[in-house]
Structure formats: structure tokens, C-alpha cells
Amino acid sequence: MIRLTSSFAHCLDMDGSNMNNQEINVFELTVHEDAEIFDMWSEERLDKLATDIKENGFDPRYPLTVSEIDGEWVLIDGRNRREACRRIDLIPPVYISTIDPKLAIARSNLQNHDQTQGQKAMRWAMLYPGEGKRGGDRKSNILSIFDSEPEGVSKIYVAKARYIWHKNPKLDSEKHPQLAKDVAAGLLTLTEAYDLTQRDVKRREEEEAIRQANAAKLADVRVRYPDLAALVDDERITLTDAVASSESRDLEAQKEAERLAFEAAEKERIAKEEAGRLQAEEDAKLAEEERKKREAARLAKEDFDRIQASVHQYLDQLINATCVAVNQTQLEQSKKHLDWDVFASRYHHKRVDAIRVLTALSNNLPVLIEILEVAP
């Protein structure tokens, strides 16, 4: 048999039978952390409950629920009933649960009609912040009740509640964000908290975008202008001033680059113009030389043609004269009829000149014959 004292309660197993070898100091049990999601009743309401229990007895249908977790007994459900019993010095019955503590807490508390849908959704999200799948400290094959959302609460409410839970910061010592606890306590509606969270997320995203942009700017300044980055690191100038200075330097560098590019382009233009002028002069010079060559060739050809015509005429005359000279009749007649004085008076030739010319002709005839033989 279990020993009962003013601080120990009767222990029942799952089918309600006595657990004869269990002693539990119900008033000293630690409350499961997930049960803390649900608020304690007001003093006035606790006093009313204590009075009701004292006058009508403890309703055995609603014993306190405890569970052994990692070798330690923990109160899962019944904080308000325990406090009411403590006030009237009554030992309440205890039910030892072997199901998942989260599920036990949810089944016991989320059916409370005093809660709004927003509060239920928020507390469900605080119990199960994932995507609707229940975790469990133990016994994963428990009932699938409340697997996605509590009864009477839409999935949209649960989705908003989880959004609030995930998107709001938590203190190091806290399991839940303060905004989620405010919704659960009824200090804010789910919609109000959701809107606040959206605005805060947007603000934090904008701040993060600014932070990343500033980090990128500082990294850029650090690479290109280490002296400015050093001043920022030493807090001698702000990042804004450093960026402004870097942009000013960039502008000056751009202007200098444009100036140098313009000068280079101008030099190239002048060089091209000079090269064009020199080329034109060279072309003109070559054209003049070509013209002179053509003119010289023309004159040479004219001179050649003239000389050639003269030679041809000379040769023609010579051939004709030779033909006359070789005329035997004329030669015979010349012997009988040539009168030099008459000839000289008529044609004005001197005898010595005639003899010289004919002698030269006689001497040149072999050469002329050779020329005729090889001429094209």
C-alpha cells in the first residue's frame, strides 16, 4: 500500500487502478515547461475553485496528470486544481500518464472554451512550432489527435501563429518569443501580432539589406582605398564619408582617364592626319615621278621615232642612190658625158667634197649591209 501524508497523493495508472508502490509529493513537482504556455487562473477564480472543491469534493474525473521524464516526476496538467487543493490543504488524486507530455498538455488545455482561436493557434504553435508534425519526448506511436491543428482552429490561424513564433526573436533564456506569449495571454490578437511581425520582418530584412550593402561597400573601399577603410576601422570617419570620398576619387580618376583617353585619341587623330598628309605628298610625288617618266618615255619615243624616220629616210635615199650608182648605163654614160665644171657650176659641189662623200659611202657600205641583215 502507498503511504499517504499531507503532501503525497494517491497515484492511479492509465486504467484508474491504484499504483501501490508510488509516492509522489504533488505540491513539490516541477511543472512541465510546455504547461507554462497556459496561464494560471486569477486569484479570485482560484479561490472560487478551492471553495467549490471544499464544499463538493474533488471531481475524480479530473485528477492531476503527472509523468516521469528522465527519472523525474513532472506535473503535466492540473496546476490550477493543485493550487486550489493547496489552499484548502487537500491531497488531490494523481493520474500517471505514459503518453507524450505535449499531447497530454494539448488535449487537456486546448479544449478550454475561454480561449480565442488566436490563442489556441498560438499555443499550438508554441507546442509544435514545426509544420504540423508533433514531436515527442517519448512514445512516438501515440494517438494522432491534434496532428495538424487543434479542433475548431483553422490552418490559416496555425500558419500565422507559427510564422509569429519563427520570425520573432527569442531571448537566450526563453523558449518562446515574447510576442507569441503576449498572444497566448490575450494581450494581443493573433492578427495584430501577425501584422506586427510582418512589419518587423520587413524592417529587419531592410536593415539586413542595408547591412549587407554597407558590408559590400566597406569591402569595396577596403580593396580599392585601404587608407579610407583604415579610417573607418579607427572610427575616425563614417562609412558614408568613406564611400563619398571613394566616389569622389572614382570621379577624379574617371575624369583623368577620360582626359588621358581624349589626349590619346587626339594624338592618334593628329598622327593619322599627318600620316595622311605625308601619304598624299608621297602619292603626289610618285604621281609626278610617274608623269615625268611617262613624259620622258614619250619624248624618248618621239625622239626614237624621229631618228628612226631619219634613218629610214637616209637608208631609203642611200638605197636609191646606190641603185643609181650601180646602174651600168649611167656609169658608162658618166665616163663619156661627165663634165665636172658644168656639174659643179650647176649643183655647187666641190670635187674634193664629192670624192670624200663617195669614199665614206664606199667605206660604210659593209656596215650598212650588216645592219640590214640583222635588223628585225
Topology classification of domain 1-98: 3.90.1530
Contact 188, 168 (CB under 8 A): no
Centre a 10 Å sphere on the Cβ of residue 24 and count the other Cβ atoms it contains: 21
Q: Would you list the domain boundaries of the chain?
A: 1-98, 339-376
d(CA 52, CA 46): 10
d(CA 330, CA 321): 12
Determine the 3-state secondary structure of 19 from DSSP. coil
Q: State residue 5's pLDDT score.
A: 34
d(CA 58, CA 52): 8
Q: State residue 196's pLDDT score.
A: 96
d(CA 23, CA 31): 17
Q: State residue 142's pLDDT score.
A: 30
Q: State residue 324's pLDDT score.
A: 53
Phi, psi torsion values for 67, nearest 5 degrees: -150, 145
d(CA 104, CA 82): 17
Global pTM value = 0.54
Helices (H), the chain: 43-56, 79-87, 101-109, 117-127, 155-167, 178-184, 190-224, 226-233, 239-325, 328-337, 340-347, 351-374
Contact 162, 137 (CB under 8 A): no
> How would you write the pLDDT of the chain (376 residues) with one tens digit per residue?
223 333 444 454 444 444 445 577 899 999 998 888 888 889 999 999 999 999 999 999 999 999 999 989 999 999 999 999 999 999 999 999 988 888 888 888 877 667 888 998 998 999 888 854 443 443 333 333 344 566 668 899 999 999 999 999 988 888 899 999 999 989 999 999 999 999 999 999 999 999 999 999 999 999 999 999 999 999 999 999 999 999 999 999 999 999 999 999 999 999 999 999 999 999 999 999 999 999 999 998 888 888 877 767 766 666 666 555 556 676 676 676 777 777 777 777 787 877 887 788 788 878 878 887 787 7
Q: State residue 174's pLDDT score.
A: 85
